[in-house]
Chains A and B, each alone.
Chain A
Amino acid sequence: MVIKVKDLPEEEYILPGTRMCSGCGLQIAYRWALKALGPNTIVCNPASCSTVTGGVGGYTPIKVPVMYNCFETVAAHASGVSAALAAKKKDKEIVVVAWAGDGGTYDIGIQGLSGAAERRSNFIYVCYNNQAYMNTGIQRSSATPFGAKTTTTPIIGKAQVNKNMFKIMRAHGLSYIATCATGYPQDLFEKFKKAREFNGKGVRYIEILSSCPPGWGHKVNESVEVTKKAVESGYWPLMEVIEGKLVISNPSKKYIDKSKRKDVRKYLKMQSRFKHFTEDDFKVWEEYIDDLWKELGWELEKQGDL
């Protein structure tokens, strides 16, 4: 049962008038994540677009405490904060969130994250994935998908397929892993509520597909629509792993059936980073999606859920 829009809480933890770009997907994700977690939250933040959001000088638009740290240390930093809270016996009521971008998770922060996951440190790790280093000027990261043009892959686009962080985190045996998209705030809200309930059970990993109008090259008003298209085409399945068991979330459930999946070309043609695509490039994407769902299908079958 999906929560209704009118039942969502009214209290805001990000105030209007922020420094983010117009139509930023991160702001939707950040807003709904904080709404789900509530006021007793401490956010740890490495270098990313969300650091810029924190503001300069004496003012900030974010109502919960945010601590800034180095790019590679966000998971180590959050481990420390949660250990300190545990020592003060406040770890039940206060939740620690590490809020990093895809560069801080896939590339630079992966050693810290892997270490914290293995140590079973108690915090929620959020990776908002906009598929490149957007804050520093759209450089390629290992989350950038095949063929995407960035400022460091300017002519033919990226030649490699992106890393599968979901699988990497699954291999750590975490208690809760989920994927979200900014096009589905209700789904995102419920997943953060659930992650909070797993308090005391190690790292909970949540990945959010977050659109970026300047980086992806779509129209500003299509910021929400583009991530919806990503889910509808099957490229970004919304799913969660609860204590090792794979569950496909409601918005993505019908796309297990291949015939229900929409053409991925619609998603790709909205964005100027894929403007140069030929028929061969589209085929790589279609194969990628087919392989992704084949693997998920096998697993669901093994669990007896299909």
Chain B
Amino acid sequence: MTHTEEDIKFEQRVSRSILSSRQTAAIGEAGKTGTWRTMKPILHDEKCIVVKSGKPSCFLCWMFCPEISVSRTIPPVFDYDYCKGCGVCANECPTQAIEMIPEKENPSCESNEGGK
């Protein structure tokens, strides 16, 4: 079997992307990690310190989020594409403004208890 010029070009492209030591920084390296989620965080605006005061003050959810999926805006917004649903934000919220609800849309989790 002979290699055409196109084959060689294709191999070079693959080797550049896989074997080269240089990697490109990109969002979602492990895919949409939001599909790992069994519990989903939702924000109750009426309890949130930042929303109530209208000033940038608390943002503990943004600070503690391991997955960088909470924005530092008023109100804080969750990035459901990548949020893994660990619930650290809900646990650390001083006013319990974040509630974890079972993820029903996720096909791997059909029960109401969030994958138990």
Residues of chain A having any CB pair with chain B under 8 Å: 5-6, 8, 10, 12, 14-20, 22-25, 27-28, 31, 54-55, 57-63, 185-186, 220-225
Contact = CB atoms under 8 A, between A and B. Distances in A.
20 contacts: A6-B56, A14-B68, A16-B69, A16-B79, A16-B82, A17-B32, A17-B67, A17-B82, A28-B64, A58-B23, A60-B24, A61-B25, A61-B27, A61-B30, A62-B25, A186-B63, A221-B90, A223-B66, A224-B64, A225-B91
A55 B92 contact: no
Interface in B72-103: 72, 79, 81-82, 84-88, 90-92, 100
B60 interface: yes
Nearest to B90: A221
Contacts of B107: none
Interface string B15-50: 001101001111111111100110000000000000
B30 A55 contact: yes
For chain B, the bracket of interface size reads 35 or more
Nearest to A8: B63
A129 to B, nearest CB: 17
Residue among A14, A54, A186 with the highest chain B CB neighbour number at 10 A? A14
Given A14-B68, A15-B68, A222-B91, A58 B17 contact: yes
Contact of B66 (A15, A27, A63, A186): A27
Nearest to B27: A15
A268 to B, nearest CB: 19
Contact of B86 (A8, A12, A23): A23
Given A6-B56, A223-B88, 14 more contacts: A5-B60, A8-B63, A15-B25, A15-B29, A18-B30, A18-B33, A19-B29, A22-B66, A25-B66, A59-B23, A61-B26, A63-B25, A221-B88, A223-B66
Contacts of B58: 5
Given A12-B68, A28-B64, A225 B25 contact: no
Contacts of B100: 221
Interface of B: 17-18, 20, 23-33, 36-37, 56-60, 62-64, 66-69, 72, 79, 81-82, 84-88, 90-92, 100
Contacts of A61: 25-27, 29-30
Given A6-B57, A18-B29, A28-B64, A220 B72 contact: no
Contact of A16 (B17, B68, B88, B92): B68
A292 B28 CA distance: 43
A221 B27 contact: no
Contacts of B79: 16
Contacts of A224: 64, 88, 91-92
Contact of A22 (B32, B36, B72, B81): B36
Contacts of A222: 91
A28 B67 CA distance: 8
Contact of B63 (A23, A185, A223): A185
Nearest to B38: A22
B18 A60 contact: no
